[in-house]
C-alpha cells in the first residue's frame, strides 16, 4: 500500500505504526525544528519525527515507512551546512540521536565502532579516558555533531591532510536499506573484526557521500590513529594565495605533518566580533596558515619543525609563531587551537545564517579557483572568506567559500543563493567537485558528469531505493 504522504490518513497510520516500534515518547508530529537549518535552503515539510533507539527499531521504522510509501529523512545534529537533512517531500524524519553508543574500540586494529548519535565530544572524551593511546580526527565543527555523519558525508578533519577525507576512514558499515533489509560492508561483513575495507568488493562506498539515499547507516567502524608523543602547532601569515599554496603543497608532500590549513583574513576579523564592512589594511596578511606537527619523540618533532621552518622560509613566509603564544595573549583564539570546536563567531553572526560551498580538487587549479571564488563572493557583497587544506598528502586540495548572512533578510538570502550557485560552478570549472553537496550543487555536478557516472549512479540508487523515498531531493 502506497499512500500520498501528508494526508491525515497516512499520518495516523504512520504514527500508530511508529509508536508501536519506538514507544509514544519517541514519536512526535511536532516537526518544526527539523524543517530548517542555518543555511539559505528553503524550509521543508514532514509529517512525523521518530527517534529509534536501536538498529532493529530502524529496521522496523523503515518497514513501516515502506508499507506507507513514506519518505524518510535521516538526521542527527542537522548541522551539515548544506540543508541535507531538511525533509523535502514530507514523511518521516528519522532522528538518530538516541543511537549514541560507542559499540567497540579495537586497540589492536585501531578502529572504533559507533552508532550515528555518537558526537565528537563524546568520542574524544571516551578515547582520552579509556584509550589514551588512540585518537580520532576532529573537525572545525561543534562538539555536539555526529562522528558518523561527518564520515559518511566525506568531511575534512584535522588529520585529513595526512589520511584523506573522512569517508576514507570508514572500514565498514551496518545499514538498513529502504525495504528493511539489514546489510553489512567491509571486513566486519565477513569476519568479526572490522579491520579494513580490503580485500573485498568495496560496498562501503555505497554509503559514502550518498547522503542517506542508499540506506540508513546504523553503525560504522572508523579508523583511529596512534596518539603521538610530542606535538606542536604553529600559525603563519601569508601575504598572498600563491605563497600560501606553495607552502601548503610543499608541506603536504613531505608526509611529515599532521595538518596544514588555511583561512583568509575575514575569518580573523570575524573572530574579533567584526560582522560587516570588513576591510583589510595593506599591511595585514591575506591568509593564515595553521600547522599541526607531531612526533614519536621530541627529537622527531624537532626535526619536523626544522623541515617546516625551511619550507616556510623558502615560500617567503616570514611570520611564524606557536599557537600557544597567541592563545595565551588572546584567549579568544582558544577555540581555534583545540578541536572539535564551536566557532561562535560564525554561528553568532547577526541573523544566524551560515553556508558554504566546499569542494575537493587538484592542486593545479587551487590558486586560480581561490581567486575566482573570492572574487565572486566580493562581487555579491560578501567578504572573501576561504577555508582550505591539502588532503591525503597533497593528492587533492580543499576550496571552501564561506558566507555568513541574515536569515531574516529576504534579499540577502536570495543573494546567498545566487552566490552559492555561482561558486558551485566556479569550483566545477576548476575541476573541483563540491562535497556535502547541497541539492542545487548536486544537480550541477550531475549536469557535468560523464553519462556513464550518471547511469551507474541511477542504477545503484534504483536498485537500493526503487521508490526514491530515502532522503528524497538529494542527488
- Contact pattern for another protein over residues 331 through 350, marking x by CB under 8 A: xx------------------
| Shortest CB 166 distance to another protein, Å | 28
* 4, 24, 43, 322: which one binds another protein (CB under 8 A): 322
Segment 51-54 long-range contacts (CB within 8 Å, at least 24 positions apart): 51/22, 51/26, 51/27, 51/95, 51/96, 51/97, 51/98, 52/21, 52/22, 52/26, 52/94, 52/96, 52/98, 52/99, 53/22, 53/26, 53/98, 53/99, 54/99
Are 220 and 123 in contact, with CB atoms under 8 Å apart?
Answer: no
* Residue 79: CB atoms within 10 Å: 19
| Window of 1-9, 98-106, 158-166, 279-287 that interacts with another protein by CB under 8 A | 279-287
210-239 residues in contact with another protein (CB under 8 A) are 237, 239
Does residue 268 belong to the site contacting another protein (CB under 8 A)?
A: yes
Kindly report the backbone phi and psi dihedral angles of residue 173, in degrees, each rounded to the nearest multiple of 5, phi listed first. -135, 160
DSSP labels for 28-50?
Answer: ES--GGGS--SSSPPP---SEEE
Looking at the Cβ atoms of 269 and 436, the one nearer to another protein is 269
Alpha-carbon span 253 to 245, nearest angstrom: 12
Segment interacting with another protein (CB under 8 A) among 20-28, 38-46, 184-192, 281-289? 281-289
Say whether residue 274 binds another protein (CB under 8 A).
Answer: yes
Which residue's CB is nearer to another protein, number 302 or number 463? 302
Q: 55 to each of 21, 51, 52, 183, 217, how far by Cα in Å?
A: 12, 11, 8, 11, 9
Q: How far is the CB of 340 from another protein (least distance, A)?
A: 17
Q: Is 4 in the site for another protein (CB under 8 A)?
A: no
How near is the Cβ of 283 to another protein at its closest, in Å? Answer: 5
Based on the shown chain and the rule CB under 8 A, indicate whether residue 182 belongs to the binding site for another protein.
no
| Residue number, 101 or 280, with CB nearest to another protein | 280
The span from the CA of 98 to the CA of 104, in Å, is 17
Which residue has 541511477 as its cell numbers?
458
Stretch that binds another protein, among 149-157, 196-204, 315-323, 462-470 (CB under 8 A): 315-323
- Cα separation, 310 vs 322, in Å, equals 16
Q: How far is the CB of 403 from another protein (least distance, A)?
A: 15
Contact 53, 165 (CB under 8 A): no
- CB 414 to another protein: min, Å: 23
Residues 283-312: x/- map of binding to another protein (CB under 8 A)?
xxx---------------------------
Residues of the shown chain interacting with another protein in the complex, contacts defined by CB under 8 A: 237, 239, 265, 268-269, 272-281, 283-285, 318-322, 324-332
Amino acid at each position: 500500500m502506497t499512500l500520498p504522504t501528508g494526508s491525515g490518513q497516512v499520518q495516523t497510520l504512520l504514527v500508530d505504526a511508529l509508536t508501536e516500534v519506538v514507544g509514544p515518547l519517541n514519536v512526535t508530529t511536532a516537526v518544526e525544528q527539523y524543517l530548517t537549518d542555518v543555511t539559505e535552503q528553503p524550509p521543508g515539510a514532514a509529517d512525523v519525527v521518530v527517534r529509534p533507539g536501536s538498529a532493529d527499531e530502524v529496521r522496523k521504522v523503515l518497514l513501516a515507512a515502506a508499507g506507507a510509501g513514506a519518505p524518510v529523512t535521516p538526521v542527527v545534529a542537522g548541522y551539515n551546512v548544506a540543508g541535507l537533512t531538511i525533509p523535502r517531500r514530507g514523511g518521516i524524519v528519522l532522528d538518530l540521536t538516541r543511537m549514541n553508543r560507542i559499540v567497540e574500540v579495537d586497540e589492536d586494529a585501531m578502529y572504533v565502532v559507533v552508532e550515528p548519535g555518537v558526537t565528537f565530544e563524546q568520542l574524544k572524551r571516551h578515547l582520552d579516558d579509556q584509550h589514551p593511546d588512540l585518537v580520532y580526527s576532529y573537525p572545525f565543527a561543534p562538539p555536539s555533531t555526529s562522528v558518523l555523519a561527518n564520515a559518511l558525508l566525506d568531511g575534512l578533519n584535522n588529520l585529513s591532510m595526512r589520511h584523506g577525507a573522512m569517508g576514507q576512514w570508514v572500514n565498514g558499515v551496518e545499514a538498513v536499506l529502504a525495504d528493511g533489509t539489514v546489510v553489512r560492508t567491509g571486513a566486519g561483513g565477513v569476519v568479526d573484526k572490522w579491520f579494513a575495507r580490503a580485500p573485498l568488493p568495496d560496498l562501503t562506498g555505497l554509503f559514502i557521500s550518498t547522503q542517506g539515499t542508499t540506506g540508513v547507516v546504523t553503525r560504522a567502524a572508523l579508523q583511529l590513529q596512534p596518539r603521538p608523543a610530542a606535538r606542536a602547532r604553529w600559525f603563519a601569515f601569508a601575504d598572498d594565495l600563491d605563497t600560501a599554496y606553495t607552502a601548503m603543497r610543499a608541506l603536504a608532500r613531505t608526509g611529515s605533518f599532521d595538518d596544514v590549513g588555511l583561512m583568509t583574513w575575514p575569518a580573523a576579523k570575524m573572530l574579533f566580533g567584526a560582522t560587516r564592512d570588513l576591510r583589510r589594511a595593506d599591511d595585514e596578511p591575506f591568509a593564515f596558515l595553521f600547522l599541526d606537527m607531531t612526533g614519536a619523540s621530541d627529537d622527531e618533532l624537532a626535526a619536523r619543525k626544522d623541515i617546516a621552518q625551511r619550507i616556510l622560509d623558502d615560500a617567503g613566509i616570514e611570520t611564524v609563531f606557536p599557537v600557544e603564544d597567541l592563545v595565551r595573549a588572546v584567549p579568544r583564539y582558544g577555540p581555534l587551537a583545540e578541536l572539535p570546536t564551536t566557532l561562535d563567531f560564525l554561528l553568532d553572526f547577526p541573523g544566524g545564517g551560515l553556508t558554504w560551498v566546499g569542494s575537493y580538487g587538484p592542486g593545479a587549479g587551487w590558486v586560480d579557483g581561490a581567486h575566482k571564488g573570492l572574487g565572486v563572493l566580493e562581487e555579491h557583497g560578501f567578504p572573501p572568506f576561504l577555508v582550505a587544506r591539502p588532503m591525503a598528502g597533497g593528492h587533492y586540495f580543499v576550496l571552501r567559500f564561506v558566507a555568513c548572512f541574515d536569515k531574516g533578510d529576504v534579499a540577502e538570502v536570495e543573494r546567498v543563493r545566487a552566490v552559492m550557485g555561482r561558486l558551485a560552478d566556479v569550483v566545477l570549472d576548476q575541476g573541483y567537485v563540491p562535497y556535502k553537496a547541497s541539492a542545487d550543487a548536486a544537480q550541477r555536478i550531475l549536469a557535468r558528469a560523464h553519462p556513464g557516472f550518471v547511469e551507474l549512479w541511477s542504477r545503484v540508487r534504483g536498485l537500493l531505493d526503487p521508490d526514491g523515498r530515502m532522503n528524497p531531493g538529494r542527488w
